[in-house]
Amino acid sequence: METLDPLDAMMLTAELISSPMHVAVALIMTPPAGTSSTAFVDELYDQALTAADPVDPRLRRRPYRGVDTGGLWVWREVDELDMRHHVRRLTVAPDAGMTELWELVSELHAEPLDRSAPMWMAYLIDGLEGGRLALYIKIHHIVIDGVAGMKMIADSLSEDPDRRDMPPFYADATSPEPPRRRGLNPLSVVRDVAGVAASGLNLARNVASAEVTNLVGGLITPTIAAPFGAPHTRFNTKLGHQRAFAATSLDHNRIRAIQHAAGVTGNDVVTTLVAGVLREWLTAQDELPEQSLVALCPVTVRDRDATAGDNGHGNQFGLGLCPLATNRDDPAERLRLVHEAMAGVKHQVAARGPGAMLMVLMPSVVPTALGPLLPFSSWVRPSYNLPISNVPGPPRRSYLNGASVDEIYPVSVVYDGMALNVTLCSYADQIGVGYIADREVMADVDQLIPLTETALAELEAAVGVA
């Protein structure tokens, strides 16, 4: 048995009192010339059920906790997977558009994953307008994080449009040795405790240093968010059981042009873009706070070239709080402040380590998530209003058994205290933007799509990009 990492165990436990904690991706594809989407999906589905390829080791195990594990969450290997459980085939109404597809994705994303099996599902969907099809895959966050998940998707694709007989998307791309089983014996426990104690002093110093930086910085600069320093918004509430999803695609070259003109990073640009979208939407609802909204931003420490055989399992990221400058009218000034804030977040994660930053933010994250469940939630200010993530996808146009992957959209997680999540994913010369929200809080999430184009045009004008 292999124990779950503390962060993963916390996610799994939190799900019992909150919302499902899985992430997902939707691939929109055009089948090869001369092949209908129905025939192509039939072929993919049949292959998924009958292929003899080894399954990715991350998808062959499930979480388990019992008396025999001492109450600890551990991983249990599953010898034989029931692919009819994990892979489903769906057909939408004839010539359904993206609106209808996103409604279906919203329904699928609201359903929790079965803990009695490896926690992932895939849906092959045909019938879209233009003869296209979709592949929607959702995986629990304890199994994989966004960066590793997108790499797993990229590894299942090919840049060769003529390649056929590709392995299924769930196949192991590297064929590493299976994860080593580790028993829960006293010697291993003593060894682990000794290792923690040896590094504990350094971790404590980094945590204390980061706490002081955040507390002091939050008092003297608008680019550092202090704990419990975010304004109350409609997003910081208890969730219902339904989801609403919408997505759009941006020209990556437009983002690069702003990036170079302003001397910032691409992540700064898209984070500022989302800030502009939220500012406009909240203004239209007459709900824009005088104080800036704050985003919870993950910073990956995973090597983008890492394989599933080394550190492809679980979650490897730090967290930081980024003020979004939504109280500033000038998009250029908003971009400058976001750039300074994100530079500070990345510096703290790099200097103190992701573990220290997670520990620093846990006392802020947990009350933000649990606050809406308490009767006195209005007394406790949230530490952030929503998460914003930016995940790298395949850098070049890709194909699946000759089908062109036209667009890739991330579908992330929402939970109590955080009813809106914005995740972006680069792919070739595009950036897919996925907005997932609780339907009771934000049923009109599709209104953010035109606002995204408006905010991008405003940023271009503000930095002088034609």
The catalytic site residues sit at 141
Strand pairing category for 120-128 and 87-96:
parallel
Asked whether 224 and 218 are in contact (CB, 8 A), the reply is yes
Query: How does DSSP classify residue 144?
Result: B
Q: Which residues contact 215 (CB under 8 A, 6 or more apart)?
A: 226, 227
In angstroms, rounded to a whole number, what is the distance separating the alpha carbons of residues 228 and 381? 5
- Element of type H or E holding 208: helix 186-220
Degrees to nearest 5, angle at CA 233 with 228 and 237: 85
Which pairs with CB-CB distance under 8 Å and at least 24 residues apart come from 29-32? Answer: 29/132, 29/133, 29/134, 29/135, 29/400, 29/403, 29/404, 29/405, 29/406, 30/130, 30/131, 30/132, 30/133, 30/403, 30/404, 30/406, 31/131, 31/132, 31/133, 31/402, 31/403, 32/401, 32/402, 32/403
